[in-house]
Homo-oligomer: A and B are copies of this chain.
Amino acid sequence: MLLDQNRLFPLEGSARGLARALYDQIGGLPIISPHGHTDPRWFAEDAAFADAAQLFVTPDHYVFRMLFSQGVDLDALGVPRADGHAAQRDGRAIWRLFAQNFHLLRGTPSWIWLTHAFAEVFDIHDRLTPQNADALYDRITDSLAQPAFRPRALFARFNIEVLATTESALDDLRWHRMIRDSGWQGRVITAYRPDAVVDPEFDGFVGNLTRLGELTGEDAMTWAGYLAAHRARRAYFIGFGATSSDHGHPTARTENLSAQDAAALFDIVKTGRATAEQADAFRGQMLTEMARMSLDDGLVLQIHAGAWRNHSAPMFAAFGRDKGFDIPTRTDFVRNLKPLLDAYGTDPRLSVIVFMLDETTLSRELAPLAGVYPALKLGPPWWFFDSPEGMRRFRELTTETAGFYNTVGFNDDTRAFCSIPARHDVARRVDCAYLATLCASGRMVEEDAFEVAHDLAYRLAKQAYRL
């Protein structure tokens, strides 16, 4: 079996046994997925996925970036160019190329996720090789044509209790409306992602402001109207189940300007001529504005900071965004979060979840901050740290200072639908392994470990995201 039943558990016998016992209790709990990027259209239309390559290769930048790093052409993998054109549209050809390079994924979480999905979703228990590539392609592609492999059926089979997608503030949420109107019982909710109208450096920012005004009937070109428009869109999103907003900024900067200074800054940025410094300050101010709105409407505020997006200029020109070229950078939270924390950090009604891409901040900054500010919680390790070692380090670097209860369970944050159960399974196993190790080394009692295991797998995510 490729899929070891005791995978990711401690190797030593007694700790392994306890990890097994912990996992046996919580491994089958429903999945709470409060942050992710699956396409709500899947659940609205419930159409079949096209083929194995469209499911596993073309949309997964973890996979195609690794192949690209070893010289495999993105065109040959069917990754669409910035103009939308995909050079290779033959799924089987893409899959064969993938199979030839599958060894490049050894030791990576993609290998685990794919192996898990092959086994659990498609009952495939062989290693993918050039020799069996065609057979596996046929098996997966044939399965996808069956009703049991449609999005809603898989949603049920994956035991997902709630799944949040992420939509732009300017999105009309048509697919979410279609899901709601369909009478389907699956709980798929949205989240409010206003980067397009908050970040002065976002493509088309000024036009986006105009559109925001149109959508809300507010004069989004005044500071007061702009804030009112956000409030209106937040309410609209809440109407489609949203319990959180989501903010992806290059830095963790926050500001708490006076209303007058904030309005003056807005008057600059709305012209589209903000300097980089003004743009950064405005983003920072808007985090504090969002916190203020959260105190009224209850949305959880998610901040993720520290990515250099689209690092390669020529690749961005040729292939556009989200092609695996978002690179983490050194991040500061101590100075940057202070204005927001001084304003609202001690208010237990507020829930701010911070995500990092710079592990050095965990023990030095984030655990000490989350371990004292009532409003602040630590999001799980994600992106490149959504991995066994990343998760282990996260617990080792945060628990002693922030405990377990200032963390918020797991986020899969994924576009790859079949990886959702695989990723939650990895997180649950790594957490059980960590708890078992604490018990086996006399740092925790087993009775507590069973309770914490349940909290990490299920309860904390529901509580933190108010689900």
Judge if A324 is at the interface, Cβ distance under 8 Å.
yes
What separation, in Å, do the CA atoms of A363 and B369 have in the docked complex?
A: 22
* Chain B residues closer than 8 Å to A127, beta-carbon distance: 445, 447-448
Chain A residues 288-310 with CB under 8 Å of chain B are: 308
B11 touches A10 (CB 8 A): yes
Q: How many residues of A are in contact with the other chain, CB < 8 A?
A: 93
Judge if A105 is at the interface, Cβ distance under 8 Å.
yes
Counted per complex, copies of this chain come to 3
* Among A91-99, A171-179, A388-396, the stretch in contact with B: A388-396
A365 touches B399 (CB 8 A): no
Chain A residues 344-388 with CB under 8 Å of chain B are: 345-346, 348, 357-360, 363-365, 367-374, 376, 384-385, 387-388
What separation, in Å, do the CA atoms of A8 and B439 have in the docked complex?
A: 10
Q: Which of B8, B324, B364, B371 contacts A358 (CB 8 A)?
A: B364
* Chain B residues closer than 8 Å to A111, beta-carbon distance: 443-444
What separation, in Å, do the CA atoms of A401 and B372 have in the docked complex?
A: 32
A104 touches B334 (CB 8 A): no
What separation, in Å, do the CA atoms of A105 and B445 have in the docked complex?
A: 12
* Chain B residues closer than 8 Å to A107, beta-carbon distance: 399-400, 403-404, 438, 443-444, 452
Judge if A14 is at the interface, Cβ distance under 8 Å.
yes
A363 touches B384 (CB 8 A): yes
**15 A-B contact pairs sorted by A residue (CB < 8 Å):** A11-B14, A11-B441, A65-B372, A66-B371, A68-B372, A68-B374, A106-B444, A127-B448, A312-B342, A312-B346, A313-B342, A314-B342, A314-B346, A357-B364, A358-B364
State the 7 A-B residue pairs at the shortest beta-carbon distance, nearest first: A7-B442, A4-B442, A71-B348, A11-B12, A387-B400, A107-B399, A384-B401
